[in-house]
Amino acid sequence: MTNIRDEIIAARRAMIAVRGYTGGCVVPDRRMVPLVPFGSDPFVVCEIKRRSPSRGDLAPVHDAAAVAGTYARYGARSISVLTESEHFDGSLDDLIAVKSAHPNLSVLRKDFLLDEQDIEVSYRAGADAVLLIASCLTADQLATMHARATGLGMRALVELHDEADVEKARVIAPELVGINSRDLTTFRIDLLGPLVLRPSIDWPCEVVFESGIFTEEHAAYAKTSGFDGVLVGEAVVAAPERIPAIIAGLTGTGATRDRGFWPRIGEIRRRYLASTRPIIKICGITHRDDAEYACELGADALGFVFARSPRKADLAVLRTIRDLPVLRIGVTVIDAEHPELDPDVGTALSEGLIDAVQFHGDEAADECFSFAFPYYKAVRIRSDSDVVTIGTYRSPRVLVDAYDPSRHGGTGKEIDPGLVSLAAEQQPLWLAGGIGPHNVRRIIRDFSPELIDASSSLEETPGRKSREALAVFFKEVENAGIV
C-alpha cells in the first residue's frame, strides 16, 4: 500500500536538494513582521490550501492574503498556510504574503518540516508558529526543532498520530499538541481516532483537533472531547462563511451539552485495541435485572427504545439503573409520522439517565444535532446506494442495521454480507441486525466490527432478555478471539 506521508517527505527532500529550504522563494534575511501569539481565542485555526492528496483540487486560491482577510472578517485570528509545493500546491510566498498583509494575525506554517534550517526559514518568512509532525522526525530531531522554534519566540504545534509519537513528545512535554484525525499514510479520516489517543497526553498542554471539522457540531464534538482548539482546512477553503458556526461550536452552548459519551467510547475502544473484542451494546432493555446481568457479563453499553415498540423504555426503570457502570443510549425514531423528538428522550438526557441518542429513523444529516447531542445515526441498508449514505452523516460513527419496510429495528434480520463488507470500507464498522449467540463469533471473525449491537436475538419475549442467550452470546464473543 502506498504511504502518502513518505512520498511527500521524499518529494520535499528532493525539492530541497534542488531549490533549497526556501523552495526557490525570496525570503528576507531577517524577520520583517511582528510575532503574534498563536492560539488566541477563538482557537479556530483556518487553513489556506489549494489541493490535497485525498481530494485533489479544492478551491482556486489566487491571492492567499485576500483569503486570509476573508477568514479574518468571519472571525478567525489564527491562520494556517500550507507551504508544501508538490502535493498541496503551496509555497512560502503564500505565507509571506499573508503575514505582510495581515501582521496582526497569527500565522502557522504547515509543512513537512525536516530540520532546524526549516525553522530558521519559517521564522524569517514571518511564521508565528510551526507544525512539527512527530512521525516525520526522530525524537532528537523533534526536540532540537522544538527548542529552536520556541527559542525564536514561535510556538510549535507538535502533531501526534499514535503512541510512538506520544513517546517522542513526552520527553519535551510541548505546551501545544495537535492530534490529527487524518492518517497521513492513507489520508483517510477517523473522527474517533484522536479521542483514543487523547488520554495518553499526560502533561499540561493545549490540544488541537486537526482535520475532519466541517460544522458547528464537529467543533462541539472536539470541545466536549477534551480539545482546546480545532484546525479547519477543506471546510473553510470551500466556504469561509462556515467559520462563525465553527467558532460557535467550539465556544458556545452546543459545546456544553455532552456528558462525555464520545470520550468514553474512545476509552473503551482503546481498552480493546490489542484484541479482537468489539464494543458490545445490548439494546431493548426494559428491566433492571436484565441490565444488571448484561453488565455483569461485560456489556459496554445498554440501549433503551423510545419509540412505539414492545421494548418501549420506561423513565422510572432508567432512574433505577443510573448507578450501573455502563453507557446508556436512548434509541429514537424521527420520521413523517413522528417529526419531533420524543419528550421522554429530552427528559432522559437532561436528567443524565442516558448518555447519548441513537437516531434510527429518517433524520437528515443536518437535523440530528438540533434534536439532541451527543448522538449517532443508524442507517438501515438494503443496497449499495444505502451504504454510500453513511458518509453523509456527521456523527463520528454510523450504525448499520438491516432494512425492513415496516420496522426501524429489532427485526432479527441479518444484513447481506456483501453490504456489510462495503459498509466496513466506509468507516470502522458499527453493526446491528440479527446478531445473537448463533452468529456473533462468525461476524467478529469475518468483519472485525468496532461495535456490535444485539437485541431481539437475546430475548425470551420482546423486552425481556434470556439469561441463557446472554451468557452464550458473551461466551461466543470471548471465543471469537481464540485462535
Residues annotated as catalytic are 283, 401
Distance, CA of 311 to CA of 400 (rounded, Å): 20
What three-state secondary structure class fits 419?
Answer: helix
Provide DSSP, 20-82: TTTTT----SS--S----TTPSS-EEEEE-SEETTTEE----S-HHHHHHHHHHTT--EEEEE
Max CA separation in the chain (angstroms)? 79
- What would the grid cell of residue 172 be? 519535551
Q: In angstroms, how far is CA 114 from the centroid of its own chain?
A: 27
CA angle 272, 278, 284 (to 5 degrees): 130
Q: What are phi and psi of 109, to 5 degrees?
A: -90, 115
What three-state secondary structure class fits 126?
Answer: coil
**Residue 376: beta bridge partners?**
358
Distance, CA of 110 to CA of 34 (rounded, Å): 19
Provide DSSP, 159-197: EE-SHHHHHHHHTT--SEEEEESB-TTT--B-TTHHHHH
Residue with cell 509532525: 133
